[in-house]
């Protein structure tokens, strides 16, 4: 079974999760990079939160529907912005056809109680299923505060805890 991990990351924690997962099994890693990179100022934060709230879809650097075609199984990792998925993941979920594919979904957020992760994962699952995918796994991960990145050790510990399910 050919597997891929798709992620978007502004501050590095979702990337850290993607890398930790890819070290666990031989999966390709695909970054959902935005064509127009974001800054890290206050206004950028407000704009990002507002875009997430209204469900915006960004323009991606790759043709994501072509990119996922060769894979039977994939994981999609979204940071949580304003209690929602990020625009790059919205674009991915809107463009991909998941017919015949198994899809695992993960969220990454600052809140250590994972507040709102249920809604984020539900909304990702609905979109995967409406694109004919089979959701096989869902899990919320703790990342770091905006502007910070979780340590490799902390992320690996979380991934190790859930790995029996992930496999
Ligand atoms: C615009 C914006 C909004 C955010 N909103 C939330 C939120 O609603 N809940 C939360 O727990 N974390 C929130 N965060 C924190 C991120 O989810 C957290 O920093 C996560 O680790 C980011 O992943 P990344 O490092 O891969 O970008 C927000 C961050 C940004 C930039």
Give me the number of domains the chain comprises.
1
Domain containing residue 22: 3-166
Please tell me if the CB atom of residue 108 comes closer than 6 angstroms to any atom of ligand 1: yes
Separation CA 73–CA 60 (nearest Å): 21
Structural tokens at position 57 = 């879809």
> In the chain, where do the E strands start and end?
3-7, 28-31, 73-81, 84-85, 102-109, 134-142
Please tell me if the CB atom of residue 78 comes closer than 6 angstroms to any atom of ligand 1: no
- Residue 124: which CATH number? 3.40.50.360
Model confidence band, residue 165 (pLDDT cutoffs 50, 70, 90): low
What's the first-to-final CA gap in the chain, in angstroms?
12
Dihedral angle at the C-alpha atoms of 66, 52, 9, 162, nearest 10 degrees? -90
Please tell me if the CB atom of residue 111 comes closer than 6 angstroms to any atom of ligand 1: yes
pLDDT digits (tens, 9 = 90+) for 76-112: 999 999 999 999 999 999 999 999 999 999 999 999 9
Pocket test for ligand 1, best of 38, 50, 81 (most atoms within 8 A of CB): 81
């Amino acid at each position: 079974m050919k597997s891929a991990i798709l992620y978007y990351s502004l501050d590095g924690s979702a990337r850290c999760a993607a890398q930790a997962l890819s070290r666990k099994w031989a999966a390709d890693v695909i970054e959902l990079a935005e064509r127009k990179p974001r800054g890290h100022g206050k206004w950028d934060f407000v704009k990002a939160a507002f875009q997430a709230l209204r469900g915006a879809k960004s323009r991606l650097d790759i043709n994501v529907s072509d990119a996922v075609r060769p894979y039977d199984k994939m994981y999609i990792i979204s940071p949580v912005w304003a209690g929602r998925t990020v625009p790059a993941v919205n674009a991915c979920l809107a463009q991909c056809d998941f017919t015949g594919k198994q899809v695992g979904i993960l969220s990454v957020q600052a809140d250590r109680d994972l507040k709102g992760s249920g809604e984020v994962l539900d909304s990702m699952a609905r979109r995967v299923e409406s694109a004919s995918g089979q959701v096989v796994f869902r899990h919320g991960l703790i990342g770091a505060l905006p502007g910070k990145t979780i340590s490799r050790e902390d992320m690996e510990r979380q991934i190790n805890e859930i790995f029996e399910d992930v496999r």
